[in-house]
Amino acid sequence: MPKIDIQAVPKRLGVGYPAPFAAPCAGRIRQRLGDAGGLTDFGVNLMHLPPGNWSSQRHWHTHEDEFVYVLAGELTLVEDTGETLLRAGDAAAFPKNTGNGHHLINKSTTTAIYLEAGSRSMEDLTTCSDIDMMSSATDGRFTQKDGAPYPD
């Protein structure tokens, strides 16, 4: 059946970054709706971002487009050119390979809810703008930008 039982979709708390990079995103909750629906060409995530949390480290993709639509609450989009306030009903798009690092921060006092959609290219390399971290879609591991692994 095409209808997705959202309550049954697992909730993943936080991110898989190495310490200390995971701390600002520790309260983020992601539900992979696209996976639950059997999608393979693109992903769709239902995101809950509590006050004070970041969606991710600021980053950009070489081979993946991203799209965000705010359902509830208020988020601050941070990118190379500055900050933009996003409220319920607002959307933002991030074309692949621009080099414009971006992320969302919840600076409000209530949890924000948004949809996140993106293509799934195994050629993708995610590069973090403000820290020494990147990740290749081929293995999903986070490494330093010179390819060196992070210590355990």
For residue 50, the one-letter residue type is: P
Whether the pLDDT of residue 152 is over 80: the answer is no
Range of the domain at 62: 24-138
pLDDT band at 45; cut points 50, 70, 90: very high
Domain-embedded: residue 5: no
Instruction: Output the average pLDDT for the chain.
Output: 96
- Which residues in 136-146 are b (16+ Cβ under 10 Å) and which e? bbeeeebbeee
The whole-number pLDDT of residue 140 equals: 87
Instruction: Look up the CATH number of the domain holding residue 57.
Output: 2.60.120.10
CB 53 within 8 A of CB 29: no
In a domain, 124, yes or no: yes
- Asked if residue 96 is part of any domain, the answer here is yes
**Domain assignment present for 102:** yes
Question: Amino acid identity of 37?
Answer: G
Is a pLDDT exceeding 80 seen at residue 71? yes
Confidence of residue 1 (pLDDT cuts 50, 70, 90): low
Kindly state whether residue 152 falls inside one of the protein's structural domains: no
Distances (CA, A) of 133 to 18, 40, 101, 121, 125: 9, 26, 13, 19, 11
CB atoms within 10 A of CB 11: 11
pLDDT tens profile 79-135 = 999 999 999 999 999 999 999 999 999 999 999 999 999 999 999 999 999 999 999
